Structure 1
Amino acid sequence: MPHKLILGIVLTFPLSSVMAAQVDFEQEIVIIAKKQSSDLKNKVASYMEDVKITQGTLSIEADLVQVSNQPNGVHKIYLAKGKPARFSQILDDGQKIELQANEISYSPATQIITIKGNASVSQEGSMVKGDIITYNIATEQLSAESSSAVTTILQPEPKHKLDDSAEKPDTLQEYNEVEQEKEQQL
């Protein structure tokens, strides 16, 4: 029975500002590959060998990418395969999110990414690994499942400064020294 983990990204995985660079979705999509073939009847284009897709700061790299147009003519699906295929994007807050797996499915219309096979999502050193990971950019939700276990690695919060000029003391003795210096200045 597969284990399933649904994460509230805001609570456990630091994918902050996941409403990622909305301006990216207003940019043109550029596809570069060594080979291309198209099935006009079925509305499927295939790009092979060293495929790179960019849309603003969004990037997909893979060995093979198939772009399928749905019957309504608006909705497209990008299916990337590689060892691994990679997806990355710079978020509004400047953070970079990276996804990699043997297969990446991306729908610009729904802003949903599904990655399968040795799947991982990472940001700021934190990571989620599983067999299948689904990431909804619009709702800031991530779900991961695995036939054995989902692995989540969370990094500790960085140390924050007390003020602009002094760092937070690491020990009680350092804290007392800082407090004594403040009293002497008064």
Structure 2
Amino acid sequence: MKAVSVVTIKKELKHRSSEELLELCLRLSKFKKENKELLTYLLFESHDETGYIETVKAEIDEQFQTINTNSYFYIKKSVRKILRNIKKYARYSLKKETEVELLLHFCTALKDFEPSIFKNITLNNIYDRQIIAIKKIVSNLHEDLQYDYNLILEELEEVSYNSKIFKL
């Protein structure tokens, strides 16, 4: 079965009653965990963005605590999974400030992680790519926010730069 476009779905939803829309939403939430998570965000957490950010940050910290540190292979897999979750949570919000906050927290947690990520090229590259992504997002934000976020970014970049110097 081929899915129709969002425009077509929107037109069709306009012709449905509120009861039918309710049933459609509930049925949609039964099929995929992401759909249920998005509905949870929209219904319960979208009105308190700072609370949502703090909840996600706590989950990120918890995920970093459970990483298997026996080898860099397991660390890389876990870090990628955490990053995938962050991107998903940022997509729910659609606010660039939320995405920046979550990515900054991720980079800070990754920087402080033991064993050091700077001893592994792949993890170092993941860290650097996130710094670049944050810079790109921050450049489109309000000037005051840019200034605040750039201060944090400079600290994170300095750590990355210093670790590369020590490798040489």
Structure 1 and Structure 2 fold alike (TM over 0.5): no
Higher relative contact order structure (alpha carbons within 8 Å, sequence separation ≥ 6):
1
Structure exhibiting the larger radius of gyration computed from Cα positions: 1
Q: Please report the TM-score for the alignment, with normalisation by the length of structure 2.
A: 0.24
More strand by share: 1
More helix by share: 2
